[in-house]
Structure 1
Amino acid sequence: MMKDPSYCYKFYWLEAIVQLISENRTEATYDEIINEMIANAWYSVLEFHIHLSCIGGDSTIKDNLERAVLKLKELSDLAPNASKIEIKNAIAEFDKQLHAEKQALTNNVPYKALSGFANKTGEHISLDSSAGRMIAYYNALSAGDILLPYTFGTDSGLNRKLTFSEAWVRMIKDNTVNILGWIQCEKVKWLQNNNPEVPGLIYKLAPLDEKMRKLSHVRKLWDGILELRNINDVFTNDPIEPVKYDIDHFIPWSFVMNDELWNLMPMDSSLNSAKNNRLPDWDDFFIRFARNQYIMYGLVHEKEGIRKLYESCYRDNLHSIWANQELYRKGNSEAEFFGISEKNMRPVYDSARRQGYDVWEKRYAG
């Protein structure tokens, strides 16, 4: 059913059907299925800037599901991490404005999703036939030799109803977890191929628990440093107050999907939410970031207590080979340290920019 798809929304179509069946639904309209698809794609597209299919040379979005998500965001201004209930409520509120995007999703996917069953026996049909011909063909096929997952009702447009086969419903209910896992695996392979610069894509399909972030040892490291000397905030250039700072990522966590020490900095707590999921301006703020990292680096090699706090970060925050073998090795001058950091961080930063991450419009504080 997912052999050689042309667009990613085939995965979301099947996923939505499995989810609806798991909720004891025996039928659903195109509209209900597409609403489920939009809600399922929302987080990946908006929080992590994943493209569901390839982007045209003129940067146009080709994928109709991605277009629908972006249109809903434009209409509703919902947060990228909005709940599924909030997303579905917004879809209902702006249903008329989303009609064209939703209708476009019905042009192919309900029929292409069944293409693996076509032309196995009896009458053969071109898979590029009209929707009407495909509906008649698949309904006849399911009534005869091959029992399909669903058949098509007689309503038109988004009101057309699918009826799920009882045998398929039983099978899906008995194997829901495995089937959703298989769809997820195929979806990840497709998305990774279309987003080759995006790290950790497997973690970017659904909301993640903030508890996944492992910053406690890095916090203790910077606490120890702040007891010894002042550190100026990268963005305000004011001294950081020991009890009023957060540990934040220079390149957003939602892109790098790790808590590596080379990308972490102490930051005024009042600014953290303002920066949110955006990139700092590289020209304005990288040198300041690298300077604070170099201060940390120097103390790690000068102070035994700081060295122990640094070593406690090994399990959660020191996995990058380049950081361990080049950046934090003893003996780097400031210029060498800055150069190693920029050589390895700038390509990641540029990848995030190409993926659509915005630059935070924080003014440089001299």
Structure 2
Amino acid sequence: MTMQPPPCGEIDIHAFSQLFNSTTNSYKLAFFQALLNTLLERERSGAHDLIIELRELATEMLALAWYPHNFFRLSFGLQDRTGRVLDRLDFNLDERALTNPSTHARLRQAIADQYEAMQADSLLRFVPYRLLSPFFSSELKGLRDSQKDRRIRELADARFSSHSPPIYRFTEAGNAIEVPPAWRDYLVRQIAIIDGWVKHHWISYLQERNPNTPAIIKKITPPLQRSPLTRQTRFWQLVMAQSTQRCIYTGDSIEPSDFALDHFIPWSFVCHDQLWNLIPVSSTVNSSKGNRLPLETHVDRFIEAQHHALRIGRSQLTDTAWDKATEPYVSDLKLSQQALLDGPSLDSAYRNTLGPLISLARQMGFSEHHG
């Protein structure tokens, strides 16, 4: 069943529900989400001004696209300029800062400060006009593309005070939009449903253009917090209490009282904390590796370390704890619990799983760790 926005007798919901029909680039989705975010932010702050500068919306568009582009290398489409504009932004941030409440505000400020240098205005060439096309479908029939923007602007202004206005009209010499009160009230009142509706389209759009990328739904907005990896840390502490663990990257022994868990395939790509993808390393190595990919030699050592850890885990854990710890292995590596303890079977399953992930991540621009 296709998601639809909630009904409302005061506005043209039929036209509104067609906003994202035939979407060929990300601009419509990002522009409307930026508008939604801006209206909600003003509502929360008690500011009820319904005139919004297009520059402010373009800044928010880029802020929304920065996370999936910068951390996950997601493609927005071959003809979409969003990624190229973001590549001009000078703003460095590691994964640990993603959950900081001030990060989004800092990001928007960086974009605003570098707006001209990034050529951010290029994203606004058509989208503010074309997003309104469903409200004037009959009037626009037969018009050439070069005629549509001016006609949409005229129609939006003429109907602004009518019983069925579009979402906005253009004002301040075309540099801003004004939202009718009826639309502001509807969008804010139904924010949860409409936000979900837009994100549904956004996820579908990105999945079509990144068909082999896992966990798209987790890659569109930063997490509120990162998992503390408490359970996974306890498992490796149990392993290291029974046997010396050496770093798969440096060969140095790891102290059980001082180590970090490295996401072998970067978290920025897989977006999960499953035990089968975690390996203990020193904090220094974990920091230097960052979100880079392992080398083939690291794969051999990683699988060997995982096999060793699983054998120790089986001997030390209760049946219930063993079942819980190995559930992700069984599910994701497609092995039985008994086969997890068989070296050749585990090796084959890991290579069948890691190989395609590393290859795709490399194609998407993730670099390798040579430390």
TM-score range, shorter chain: 0.7 to 0.9
Is the 2:235–2:313 Cα contact (8 Å) retained in structure 1? no
Is the partner of 2:339 in helix, strand or coil? Answer: coil
The equivalent of 2:231 in structure 1 is 217
1:30 lines up with 2:59 in the alignment:
no
TM-score norm. by structure 1 comes to: 0.85
Question: Given the superposition, is the C-alpha separation of residues 127 and 70 from structure 1 closer, same or farther in structure 2, using an over 3 Å criterion?
Answer: farther
| In 2: Cα distance, 1:314 partner to 1:298 partner | 11
Describe how 1:322-333 pairs up with structure 2 within 5 A.
Answer: 322-325=333-336, 329=339, 332=342
Is the 1:11–1:183 Cα contact (8 Å) retained in structure 2? yes
Question: Given the superposition, is the C-alpha separation of residues 44 and 298 from structure 1 closer, same or farther in structure 2, using an over 3 Å criterion?
Answer: same
Q: Which residue type is aligned with residue 218 of structure 1?
A: Q
| In 2: Cα distance, 1:108 partner to 1:33 partner | 14
Q: Which residue type is aligned with residue 352 of structure 1?
A: A
Is the 1:262–1:323 Cα contact (8 Å) retained in structure 2? no
Report how far residue 169 of structure 1 moved. Answer: 1.1
The equivalent of 2:106 in structure 1 is 86
The equivalent of 2:11 in structure 1 is none
| In 2: Cα distance, 1:175 partner to 1:330 partner | 49
1:291 lines up with 2:266 in the alignment:
no
Gaps of 5+ in 1: 56-61
The equivalent of 2:182 in structure 1 is 167
Describe how 1:206-285 pairs up with structure 2 within 5 A.
Answer: 206-212=221-227, 215-281=229-295, 283-285=296-298
Is the 1:240–1:268 Cα contact (8 Å) retained in structure 2? yes
1:47 to 56, 71, 75: 71
Report sequence identity in percent: 24
1:69 to 83, 86, 108: 86
Is the partner of 2:117 in helix, strand or coil? Answer: coil
1:134 to 152, 158, 168: 152
| In 2: Cα distance, 1:3 partner to 1:248 partner | 42
1:110 to 118, 121, 128: 128
Per mean C-alpha deviation after superposition, the further-off stretch among 237-246 and 75-84 is: 75-84
The equivalent of 1:188 in structure 2 is 203
Report how far residue 200 of structure 1 moved. Answer: 1.0
Question: Given the superposition, is the C-alpha separation of residues 223 and 307 from structure 1 closer, same or farther in structure 2, using an over 3 Å criterion?
Answer: farther
Is the partner of 2:261 in helix, strand or coil? Answer: strand
Question: Given the superposition, is the C-alpha separation of residues 229 and 274 from structure 1 closer, same or farther in structure 2, using an over 3 Å criterion?
Answer: same
Please tell me the root mean square deviation across aligned C-alpha atoms, in Å. Answer: 2.5
Q: Which residue type is aligned with residue 132 of structure 1?
A: R
Is the 1:219–1:247 Cα contact (8 Å) retained in structure 2? yes
Is the partner of 1:266 in helix, strand or coil? Answer: strand
TM-score norm. by structure 2 comes to: 0.84
Report how far residue 269 of structure 1 moved. Answer: 1.7
Q: Which residue type is aligned with residue 40 of structure 1?
A: L
| In 2: Cα distance, 1:141 partner to 1:127 partner | 22
Question: Given the superposition, is the C-alpha separation of residues 305 and 20 from structure 1 closer, same or farther in structure 2, using an over 3 Å criterion?
Answer: closer
Is the 1:220–1:309 Cα contact (8 Å) retained in structure 2? no
Gaps of 5+ in 2: 1-18, 43-47
Q: How many residues align?
A: 341
Is the 1:260–1:319 Cα contact (8 Å) retained in structure 2? no
Is the 1:300–1:307 Cα contact (8 Å) retained in structure 2? no
Question: Given the superposition, is the C-alpha separation of residues 77 and 95 from structure 1 closer, same or farther in structure 2, using an over 3 Å criterion?
Answer: same
